[in-house]
Structure 1
Amino acid sequence: MINFKRLHHIQLCIPIGDEDKARDFYGRILQLKEKEKPEALKKNGGLWFDVGDIELHLGVESINSSPSKRHPAFEVENILEVKEYLKDRGVKIKEEIAIPNIERFTFTDPFGNRIEFMETT
């Protein structure tokens, strides 16, 4: 059984090198508060913002990247059990870069959409 806690974040994508333009739009115009990315992910570029009780992650990628980094991230309970549950049902799991206090992995649905499951530790 998968126990969903909440939608944690949504990732959208911006062109490589457009962080200042995104910061102007999302920070200045939409008035979202920028938050610091974990050190291990800073090298990837992009920005993170708080939006109410979820986060908006802006990743960088080439305009025609396939597959895209865009995805929702769901916070779940007992993530290791969930991972095994999905594997047992033929879902191919991709381990992601480790970041402090978060266990996470991604997978794609049958339609090519990337989905992240995560649990704070």
Structure 2
Amino acid sequence: MLAAVDHVQLAAPSGAEDALRAYYTDVLGMTEIPKPPVLAARGGCWFQAGAVQLHLGIETDFRPAKKAHPGLRVTRIEACAARLQEHGAKVIWDDSLPGHRRFYSEDPVGNRLEFLEPTGTGAL
């Protein structure tokens, strides 16, 4: 049965790879990982930090996800939010999840991202 989430796939418009690389590597500190050659021909890029993998694939008629999103667990959430804001990203705090500090932001192509850190009490 299910053992783990292998990766999360997000969509992006054609030609967005440089902006995605700058954001996911320079801002979020992820490492770009090579795509298999047959998949690399389709465009897009893949990133990893620890066990977390995000795959950004090119989608014709791309529209960013405004509700669907990956939830990215972080440490030092205040520093994470400050880093995003220093790079021009909007940060929207949300205190409605018991046992967590969390905020939402968007990547350079408008995909919604949730960043969260357990606080100990009531955390999932």
How does the TM-score come out when normalised to structure 1?
0.49
Instruction: Name the structure where strand makes up a greater proportion of residues.
Output: 1
